[in-house]
Chains A and B, each alone.
Chain A
């Protein structure tokens, strides 16, 4: 099992595996980039959770007198064309971004795991059918499928989550299926079958827990791309609807014409997206190295 390997590695490296804190400290020292990613993610989650307490101005209130006001005077990242506080909108945008990111990733993983388990464990015509369905979904680029889905479902936060979750299914289902196929031949699964356990129970109690490590690796890797796809959809005007402050949408409002007169409208939301995705990517790499030592580079 992966966890044993991980504990073994810790002791091999001479770490004091006595407490959780010392283990965390050891990991942070061993994976400094991963620790940086974890720090960025903590900041991101903290901002999303406490947005109300971190801002003074309402992210939605408009003020024509402040239209395109440069940074300063209480609006320290400036104001947009409606005179809305860019800082407040970025802080509240973290909430939307995180909600869509976590929502779409978990939904996509849920469907992907279900299909992957069914496909790998039951095999036969169920497997064949699911495989063809996955082929179909994989023949379209993520953004194209998400665009069509989002247009078909109509603009709302829930629909954007669904529109991004569906294109995530194939990659999750593939990994889980491959793992399930390998696990099915393991002696402990055979033993469970021999004592008369039902297929469903074996799949849920024995196979599923053993696919957790690759699933966590995949989910962290996907989180960054869901955040990016949400930003792209909103940028194209087919994502998060008004009045929610979405980072991608802020950039679409500030497109070409404001590049000249109000660069702060372009710079700050872009930094927010890039930082959040950078954090998840750093964390994702470290999680992969820790949980899946075979892939370590």
Chain B
């Protein structure tokens, strides 16, 4: 187990290192840098001034040199400065994280709260009318773009209350804050709950076919006991993986939903930074996302070993 852990950790570092190189290179093969964009907007270009700004930002150095400067800074905890706001990158990113984290947690809660029980119900009542309805609902959930769902929710608000659920930095009460976050979180969570529902259903059906379920039935266990004590506990294993996968899935939903609802979170900030060619923000944010995904995957693997005694990792 210990040697497996070490191996996994080394692989994680290798993966993150690879991502840093790829993202860094990708961002720099773009024709035109932030200085070009700024001067485009200004209209007037003084070559000397442009060269000076480029030198100030370190854009005149070679790409490997720029990369070394970035990684060297990271090692010292220095993420550089935003090209656009000129603030420290860390000061731009950190205050936005709690906003997105609240949304993500609420969305995940929404997804588990609906996806899990409905998936189980769908499997237990396989091929009934209820199962068909739930399957169509989950499939349509996967087909609705979350930004469109967000817009429909906005429209429903306008139609019924004639008010926009606008994001405010200082909500008046806890309940107002909860409402402010839950509406966009539901828009994101609906899609994930659809995915979770499908996965739970197929995992549950797989388990219901096993021999030990037949054994439980034949020794006279009640239907409820078979479904919820024997089957559900075993079906939860693959579901844990899916909840882990949702981390990556949620990030995509958060990006578009924060844009629709005009929420100043870290996911929308990534898109803005990409538009502005604000390299220090983009590369650090992408690394941040990668660290989250890789860590969640690692945690899921470990959880798997804890939950399922049949799994023993060896080096």
Name A residues whose Cβ lies closer than 8 Å to a Cβ of B: 33, 132-133, 135-136, 139-144, 147-149, 151-152, 154, 224, 228, 231-232, 235-238, 248, 251, 255-256, 259-260, 263, 266-267, 270, 273-275, 277-278, 281-282, 285, 295, 297
Contacts and interface: CB of A to CB of B under 8 A. Distances in A.
B15 A135 contact: yes
**Secondary structure call for the B interface:** helix
Contacts of B27: 148, 151-152
B289 A140 contact: yes
A282 B18 contact: no
Given A274-B143, A278-B139, 11 more contacts: A133-B18, A136-B19, A140-B286, A140-B290, A147-B255, A148-B23, A151-B27, A259-B154, A266-B152, A273-B145, A274-B148
B282 interface: yes
Contacts of A228: 143, 145
A266 B31 contact: no
Contact of B148 (A139, A147, A270): A270
A152 B106 CA distance: 33
B252 to A, nearest CB: 4
Q: How large is the interface on B (under 10, 10 to 19, 20 to 34, 35 or more residues)?
A: 35 or more
B170 interface: no
A236 B145 contact: no
B271 A238 contact: yes
A141 B251 contact: yes
Contacts of A266: 148, 151-152, 155
A136 B18 contact: yes
B249 interface: yes
A136 B286 CA distance: 12
A33 B127 CA distance: 13
B158 interface: yes
A140 B31 CA distance: 23
A160 B296 CA distance: 29
B294 interface: yes
Interface string B112-141: 000000000000001000000001100110
Contacts of B148: 251, 266, 270, 273-274
Contacts, number: 140
By secondary structure, the A interface counts as: helix
Contact of A274 (B18, B140, B289): B140
B260 interface: yes
B143 A235 contact: no
Contact of A151 (B205, B248, B274): B274
A278 B142 CA distance: 8
Given A139-B15, A256-B260, A148 B26 contact: yes
Contact of A270 (B151, B249, B286): B151
Contact of B260 (A147, A237, A238, A255): A255
B119 to A, nearest CB: 11
Nearest to B249: A141
Contact of A144 (B151, B201, B255): B255
Contact of B274 (A132, A238, A248, A267): A238
A251 B147 contact: yes
Interface in B294-310: 294, 297
Interface in B227-252: 248-249, 251-252
Contacts of B14: 132, 135
Given A132-B18, A263-B155, A297 B286 contact: no
B293 A251 contact: no
Closest 9 pairs (CB-CB, A-B): A143-B252, A270-B148, A278-B143, A277-B143, A136-B18, A141-B248, A152-B26, A141-B251, A151-B274
B185 interface: no
26 contacts: A33-B136, A135-B15, A135-B18, A139-B16, A140-B19, A140-B290, A141-B252, A143-B251, A143-B256, A147-B255, A148-B23, A148-B26, A148-B286, A154-B30, A224-B143, A228-B145, A232-B145, A232-B255, A232-B256, A235-B256, A263-B155, A266-B148, A270-B148, A277-B142, A278-B143, A297-B201
